[in-house]
Amino acid sequence: MNHDLVCFPFSDLGTETHWQREGELLQRFNHLPPEAQHERPELLKALFAQADEVIISPPLAIARGHLIKLSRKVFINYNAQIAAAPGAPITIGHHTIIAPNVQIQTGTHPVDPTERQKWAYCAKGITIGNNVWIGAGAIICGGVTIGDHSVIGAGSIVTRDVPPCVLVGGNPARVIRELTPPDESTLYALNP
């Protein structure tokens, strides 16, 4: 998928009211007492553009959750940092597993110091396919598409697209080997 670079003044990232509301929801989600765990699904629906049948272990850090779509059966472990930006949304496919301490960041800044002063923020969207496993501490950079059924090794830094059904690892992440494609007709029978 082609993710175009969008650049804009930092002031376009959201209003103070938006940031405050998102912060309040995150604070509530991250500090729910055991007797209030039933509130999690509704908080996730308020935090994200889409979040049905997902499990997220707190603490969670997000920016502009209204631009982040989580498909069914997504599992995100603790200390995830997920940041979208206007014109640079994030989509995570169904049955995807995200290990602890993963960062998914659409944002960047120009390398040229003069350009950096003109634009405070640039970003490219991120698309993560279905049934992907992202290992602990991995970083997914803006503009990346990760193909269905791929595995991102722990600690990897993904700076370019990942094809379907591969294992990648390293910095920058590179294909280590191809994986056997699953039988899609029976793949989700145990976890529909």
Catalytic residue IDs: 109
- What residues contact residue 43 under an 8 Å CB cut-off, 6+ apart? 25, 28, 29, 32
* b/e 92-108 (16+ beta carbons within 10 angstroms → b): bbbbbbbbebbbbbbbb
Nearest Cα to Cα of residue 139 among 179, 56, 86, 81: 81
Both tokens of 20, joined, read: 């405050």
